Structure 1
Amino acid sequence: MELRDIEIFLTLAEELHFGRTAERLHVSPARVSQAIKKQERGIGAELFERTSRQVVLTPVGMQLRDDLAPAYRQIQDAISRAATAGQSITGVLRVGFSAAWCGSLIVQAADAFRARHPGCEIEIQEVPLHNRVGLLRSRELDLQLTEFPVDEPDITNGPVIFSEPRAMVVPAGHPFAGRESVTWEDMAHSPIITIAGPPAYWLDYHLPSRTPAGTPVETGAATVAWQEVLSLVSAGKGVCTTAVRARDYYSRPDLVYVPFSDAPTVDFGLHWLAAGETVKLRAFVRTILDLTGDQG
């Protein structure tokens, strides 16, 4: 059983809900279900009893939980101790970001990190909107602070750093421009500017093709850069969704950012290649968590 599968099992054993487990780990419910089924096949017994109303641990599942939980904590503690056991942190760490506020935090973290580890240099660059994890896979980046969801088997998802309310970006003359808020169902009233390149699950979360009630959302032009998205919205080619905070960083007189009253947040977190985790990467993550007040 791989470490990620153990994490999925222990989280489900705590939450007893596939949806909450998937949300907590930033993976799809199908990924959780597949991992549990794989474990049950390997063990030869059911770990959970599933009904339409509830999920409960079987006796075998309870035993596995009780046996695995302390061992899992020991593994995590051992990794942490090994990472800090007198090893010097040198070389270069390449860190990416998406939104401007993510970039601001990375710059602050880089300054704090250099003060702690003067032998290590931080290189910072923007992550392309259309290529969400490609620079991690090509090892042009070691770590990035970008939007969830990231449901890729070779990518490790770290903690959420920002959870931002969502807004609809509309032209200044749009009927919604004067409203205090919009709803998710309002997405059906204008074409939506979309992004070419990201995986379907990412697009479905940020730029859905249907409203919660099932009404189709018309797809407008597709582009690969955020400034192009804003230009297309300004030209009346459609609307788009983003974090409310974007209006403070990408303000334009021809655009209005209207908050949603019922949409899920836009979550930004840390991601890295599972096979590329290093001492300095973990130290930089710790620096970011220290800056944001996360004690986890």
Structure 2
Amino acid sequence: MTNNQLSVENPIVTIEDLKVYFPVRRGVFSKEVGQVKAVDGVSIQIKKGEIFALVGESGCGKTTTAHAVLGLVEKTSGRVTLAIGKHKDKPVQWNELSTYDRRDLRKLVQVVFQDPFSSLNPRMTVKEILEEPLNIHRLYAKQKRNDFIREMISKVGLSAEYLNRYPHEFSGGQRQRIGIARALATSPELVIADEPVSALDVSIQAQIINLLQDLKNAYNQTLLFISHDLALVRHLADRLAVMYLGKIVESGTESQLFDSPMHPYTKLLLDSVPLPGIGRKTKGSFNRDEREITPVEKGCSFYPRCPRKKQECMENVPLLMDKGEEHLVSCFNPH
């Protein structure tokens, strides 16, 4: 099974051979001298009601993939279709929609941003921040809207007394709770959480992760969780995919990737962080020399860093193959 043959039942998001390339320009006349392949042939299907994690180092293309799902970046090629709302029986792409239908779909696809401070308007009170998406999408009459806002702020663990305060009056964890409440205000079917806890203290991260999981279960929402931290998603994700230099190198269930990782990059990621309870010792960070993470012209992109590389890896690109029970690996020598 190749990367464009994986199929799940009733997917809410389908990404097919997605490529997003950015031009590299130099000189006085900004002549294009090359391309950055931010996303290079990614195929993913996300089931309705699941938590799907996209994991990898900075620069691997995971956030660009999320932006493609949101329709915020122009695709070089490939398809991203959403089976959401009135389009659930006939999935659509963003560029196929009218302005009205696009706004209607935006209501059902929301984002929790990485930095909870810069994503909140400092001149607006919490009440105004939560009310803004309701105004845009014309949801609820005034009195019911006020009751709804008080209900939402309570569901994320904050008191209604905070509604008249400004973002600078809150801690990082509290600001992220406000961001989550804003994302959920329109009752979305799909929530994309882009590194939602990386800017927070470790002591607060678990609280936000638990909150996201509780709210997802309560509303039966689908969550696309973007992270660089495998340990963080271990007890959160139903399925996950590991990205490296714009490609998916391994994907599967949480137990498959943590208990039986097959790609050397996944193993190196696991070995670089402490993972209590699974019998591995932290071996420290692996080599991240910039020269070694420059995209290669041919062959496997992980070849320069791979501890078990062979000649075939340098000459050919491995396809994403099914090793059983939809555990997909892109490697000539998996084990």
Please give the range of the TM-score, normalised by the shorter of the 2 chains: under 0.3
Under a length normalisation based on structure 1, what TM-score does the superposition of the two structures give? Answer: 0.26
Q: Larger % of helix: which?
A: 1
Under a length normalisation based on structure 2, what TM-score does the superposition of the two structures give? Answer: 0.24
